[in-house]
Each structure stands twice: as C-alpha cells, then as structure tokens.
A and B are shown apart, each in its own frame.
Chain A
Amino acid sequence: MKQEYLKYIRDNVFPTAFCPGCGHGILLNAFVSALGELDYDQDNLVLVSGIGCGGWIASPHMNTDTLHTTHGRAIPFAIGVKLANPKLKVVVISGDGDLTTIGGNHLIHAARRRIPITVICGNNNIYGMTGGQASATTPVGAKTMTTPLGNDYRPFDLVKLVKGAGGEHVYRYTAFHAMQMKKAFKDVLQKDDFSFFDILTGCPVQYGRRNELREPAKMIQWMKDNSVLYSGEYHDDKIMVGKF
C-alpha cells in the first residue's frame, strides 16, 4: 500500500476490526490500491454494504460516501442510488451470507437487469461475525457451528449463479490473487456496466479453525494450490479463477 493511497481510507479507524489474517482485509487492500493506481475520484464513488464482517470492508474503512445498510439488502439500496443519480459510480461490497444467502434474490435480479453497479462478494464461506454458521457458499462436508458433522447441502457456485441470471463481467479470485483482483477492480471501475466478483477471502478464525486451515498463511497457500485459471474449461472440483 503506497503512502499516497492512504487518502482513500479513514486512517482514524485503523487497525481494522478484522481478525488477524482476514481475507476481507486483502480485498480492501486490492480495492484501495485499484483506486490509487487510477487516481480515482473518491467523491464520485458510493460504497454500499450490508451486515456482517463483509459489510465492514467499506464502512467505515473507506474514505468515500458509504451506505451501510440492512442485512442482505445492500443491492436494492445501491440500485436506488445509481438510478437516482447515474453519474455516481456505485459499488456494493459485502459478504456471502449477506449477498448470496439472505439477499440472494436481489443479486439474481440485479444480474438479470444488468443494473450498472459493481457487486463484490467477499466470500469467506461462512457467517463470521455471528460465530461461524453455515452460509449458502459453505462447501459440502465443511464443519461449521451449525454443521458440526459436515455440511450436507451443496453450495452456490456464484459465478454460475450470476451468469445464469444474466450477469456479465463476472470474475472470481481468491485472497491469494491480490494482484489479479486489483487489476480486475481497475477494469470495472473505469466502466459503467454491471459486474460481479466472487472473491474467496477465507476466514481463518471461524471457518479455518474448524477445517484445518487455522493459519492464515496456510489458507492462502491452500487457495493457491487449489485454483486454476479459467481459459474456457470449467472444472467443478477446482477453484476456477479469472474472468468468466
């Protein structure tokens, strides 16, 4: 993080409230760096979030207009902002429990309508703030507070979900792919289209400790080892990353 990019954050709220090694922080880092590298107008940017750890990525850390809304409803608020003032760049940054579980209906409809907002899902496969319960993106077999013997139900593949609903400019990266993530953020920040990011952030504390990924460095390594760059062929048993 270059010193001059710190103008995009409120340094009075640092250090963040996130746990050590939280991938949401890496997402925040990439987003701030993208703004910095573009010398982006921070006063024309509105960041909208919902409830949970993911909802805190933008609010209060980002030094822009921020709208920290109700659980699952960030997208409708963002649509209100964007349609009422189309000149603003509106970016939703929130978590998987928020955007895809309680708020999944809004996500598919935003994708269907291709409302020109960017939606970034900090997907750590779990409800972190409330103590580690299963979400709609918790993998089969994963142990959580509410699935102590392993999760029985299939998770959403968010790339397929959003694309299936009609969304374009769909990306997935992990916290390991900080640089690629930053570059993709830069691409969409310069456009006025719908775009969606499934960012696997990883939660060492609530997810990792129950699933043998307690060490942040180990989780980052696991992401690196299990991801494959998408080049036309989609493997369901891998973390497909890139643009889809």
Chain B
Amino acid sequence: MGYKVIIRENWCKGCYICLSVCPKNVFEKAGLLDDRGIIVSKAVRPENCIGCQMCADHCPDLAITVEKEDE
C-alpha cells in the first residue's frame, strides 16, 4: 500500500519546508522555473512516502495533499 503526494503547484511558492521536514526524502526542487518564475517542489520519490503528513501539515501554502493510494 502506498501514498499519493499531490502538490497544487500553482499555490507552491518554493519555500522547500517540505524538503526539510520529510523524513523519507520524497521531494526535490523542480529543475526549471515555472511560468511565475518559481522553482516549485516536486514529489519525485512518492514510493518512499510513509504518509506521516509532515509535509502537508507544514506547508504554509496549503499546497500538499497526501492520500492513501487506492488498493
């Protein structure tokens, strides 16, 4: 059973708190600026996610949802 890490990228401001609080190194900075000029956060290793919600609870922009993957 795994988790889906959804990032509402148009709400993300690239503070990277999610990178720092994630215990499983799920996130990385995007490789490119988006059209607002922001390097957003990407959930590049969602398979590592343990569903602890640290990223979702600490996101100042309410941009992250972590959901259980459907069986």
Touching in the complex, A and B, CB below 8 A?
Answer: yes
Residue numbers of B with Cβ under 8 A of A are 8, 10-17, 19-21, 53, 56-65, 67
Number of chain A interface residues as a range: 20 to 34
Interface of B is mostly: loop
* Total number of residue pairs linking A and B with CB closer than 8 Å: 85
Q: Which residues of A contact B16 (CB under 8 A)?
A: 21, 216-217
A182 at the binding interface (Cβ < 8 Å): yes
Chain A's closest residue to B21 (CB) is A220
Instruction: List the one stretch of A12-20, A38-46, A101-109, A125-133 in contact with chain B.
Output: A12-20
Bound Cα distance A147, B49 (Å): 44
Given contacts A1-B59, A30-B57, 13 further A-B contacts (CB under 8 A): A1-B56, A9-B62, A18-B61, A20-B15, A22-B15, A25-B61, A26-B59, A28-B60, A29-B56, A178-B58, A182-B57, A220-B17, A220-B58
CB-contact partner of B20 in A9, A26, A33, A221, under 8 A: A221
- A15 with B59: CB separation less than 8 A: no
CB-contact partner of A14 in B15, B17, B56, B61, under 8 A: B61
